[in-house]
Chains A and B, each alone.
Chain A
Amino acid sequence: MSIEFDNNLPIYLQIMTYLKKEIVIGKLRPGDKIPSVRELAAELQINPNTVQRTFQELEREGIVETRRGLGRFVTSEEEKIMTIKKEMAGELLENFIKGMQELGFEEQDIVAIVTDAVKP
């Protein structure tokens, strides 16, 4: 696991995004065990409390669940993972559209440009 951290942004958010991505693209499968706080902190050379916070947030969002005495696991609810995937796509889209609008493109222009760009 390797993340290029940007020290200008909260680290726990960056790890969250990273783990969500790993889950969404299936590198971490539903029901997979995720590393312990200690392991991940050591691997990424970051503060253990930061990792703890990441896991808490992921739990709050229902993406990760703790099983007593066993550790933390990726949720087995596939719909949950689909939802995350859509959310992440939504964020990308929103930023993209905003950026295009700032450049002065209208809705139909944006659609045309995207259609053109994804053509094989």
Chain B
Amino acid sequence: MYSMDQLLQFDHVSKVYMRGRTALNNVSLNIGSGKIIGLLGTNGSGKSTFMKIAAGLLQPSSGHVTISGTPVGLDTKSIVSFMPDRPLTEAWMKVSDAVAFFQDFYQDFDVQKAHNMLEFMNIQLNDRISALSKGMNERLQLTLALSRNARLYMLDEPIGGVDPVARGKILDAIVEFYNEDSSLIISTHLVRDIERIFDEVVFIRNGEIVLHDEVENIRMKHGKSVDEMFKGVFAE
């Protein structure tokens, strides 16, 4: 069943890799519009696989994935903006080249928004990408991903491996520049720093969804932060 406020729908989706490792196991999940969702799990829990399938970069072994009712494929690529955990830019590029590259590649790329975001991020168009620090590079990748006019944004570990200052700036930018009609899925295992920007969280463990709830519900029902809940669920 498809309704207007269902944006992303996973219906009994499994993914088994060539060597037989099951990355997703019978995942069914609905994500609504206008939400910021935390996709939370430890390394290797299936977060990236989930995102790559939603982005149409990986085929599920079984099950169906739709975005706004359309099966994931060429048609949905134009409404999904995905920031993978590895940069999409090349080391030889300047920031201006990366912006031009995105502009060529995506019709929905908003150059003005990119320039505004770069200014917010303190990144110059003339900067060489190879000279950017890890934190700065994350800011650039985020800028490129959020400057598209998409329905669904997915950020794979946007705050992984960056210092707390850069982390703060990245969170600021997300709240400031996020388009409220769309949805944003953010995968991370760093829950504490980021839990206040989520509407909902999805806990994924060993390729299975173990919890999907509104964050305020979690606080109300359990009197716990999402971080504590996370630690409880993922304790070895």
Contact of A7 with B197 at beta-carbon distance under 8 Å, contacts A42-B172, A42-B176 already known: no
**Residue A8 contacts which of B35, B36, B168, B223 (CB distance < 8 angstroms)?**
B223
B202 to chain A, nearest CB (A): 15
A10–B197 CB distance below 8 A:
no
B220 interfacial contact with A, CB 8 Å: yes
0 or 1 for each of A11-54: is its CB under 8 Å from B? (1 = yes):
11000000000000000000000000000011011111110010
* Binding site secondary structure of chain B: helix
B197–A8 CB distance below 8 A:
no
When chains A and B are docked, how far (Å) is the Cα of A46 from the Cα of B199? 10
Closest to A44 in B: B196
A7–B195 CB distance below 8 A:
yes
Contact of A8 with B228 at beta-carbon distance under 8 Å, contacts A42-B176, A45-B196, A48-B180 already known: yes
Contact of A10 with B220 at beta-carbon distance under 8 Å, contacts A48-B175, A48-B180 already known: yes
B227–A7 CB distance below 8 A:
yes
B34 interfacial contact with A, CB 8 Å: yes
Q: How many residues of B contact A (CB 8 A)?
A: 26
0 or 1 for each of B216-232: is its CB under 8 Å from A? (1 = yes):
10011001111110000
**Residue A45 contacts which of B34, B197, B219 (CB distance < 8 angstroms)?**
B197
**Residue A9 contacts which of B34, B36, B192, B219 (CB distance < 8 angstroms)?**
B219
When chains A and B are docked, how far (Å) is the Cα of A30 from the Cα of B44? 53
When chains A and B are docked, how far (Å) is the Cα of A9 from the Cα of B178? 25
A5 interfacial contact with B, CB 8 Å: yes
B175–A50 CB distance below 8 A:
no
A7–B196 CB distance below 8 A:
yes
A106 to chain B, nearest CB (A): 31
Contacts of B178 in A (CB 8 A): 48
B197–A46 CB distance below 8 A:
yes
B171 interfacial contact with A, CB 8 Å: yes
* Interface-central residue, B175, B192, B223, B228, by most chain A CB under 10 Å: B175
Closest to B218 in A: A10
A11–B219 CB distance below 8 A:
yes
A residues apposed to B, CB below 8 Å: 5, 7-12, 41-42, 44-50, 53
Top-7 shortest CB links A-B = A7-B225, A46-B196, A10-B216, A10-B219, A8-B225, A42-B176, A47-B197
Given contacts A8-B224, A41-B175, A50-B196, 14 further A-B contacts (CB under 8 A): A7-B192, A7-B226, A7-B227, A8-B228, A10-B216, A10-B220, A42-B175, A46-B196, A47-B36, A47-B175, A48-B178, A49-B199, A50-B199, A50-B216
